[in-house]
Amino acid sequence: MSTERPRSIPEGLVVELSRSKILPGKEREADRWMAMINERYDECIESLDRERMAVECAFRFREEGPEYIYWMSIYGEDGSGLDLTNPLDRDLQDQATLCKEPGWADAEPQFLLLPEPVKRALLAWALRQAPGSTTSAPPSKG
């Protein structure tokens, strides 16, 4: 796989698609994990700010053989990620640990197509100034 950033992905933006296998016999735990996210929707939305998360969604893939969960996210590279001192993040991490294999396998993004109004809104959210900062947070990757 190439490590070169596709030209269509703006500097400072991270586009990820990750996959992890649901542990055999833990499908109901995975159901509870996804239900928790939907039930705690408002808390999850609040966490997007510190994460600089513009888009986050998950898919489950069931076919003969193992079941997988796919996680797709688009965020600013200066986002904070999980904060295990936060009760929501801790609960979500605990539930994930119960039902999926450790770690994630990451796919390599090939392109990102966004109509200009969506691109402006997404970049304004994901790359904006950090709360409490007096200067804007420039992209750190070159």
pLDDT, position 4: 85
Does domain 13-126 sit in CATH 3.30.420.40? no
For the entire predicted model, the pTM comes to 0.84
- Residue stretches of the chain with pLDDT short of 50: 132-142
pLDDT, position 36: 95
pLDDT, position 107: 97
Task: Name the residue ranges covered by the structural domains of the chain.
Answer: 13-126
pLDDT, position 137: 38
pLDDT, position 81: 82
- Cα distances (Å, whole numbers) of residue 65 to 21, 28, 30, 93, 98: 11, 16, 16, 25, 20
pLDDT tens-digit map of 67-88: 999 999 999 999 888 888 999 9
CB of 12 closer than 8 Å to CB of 77: yes
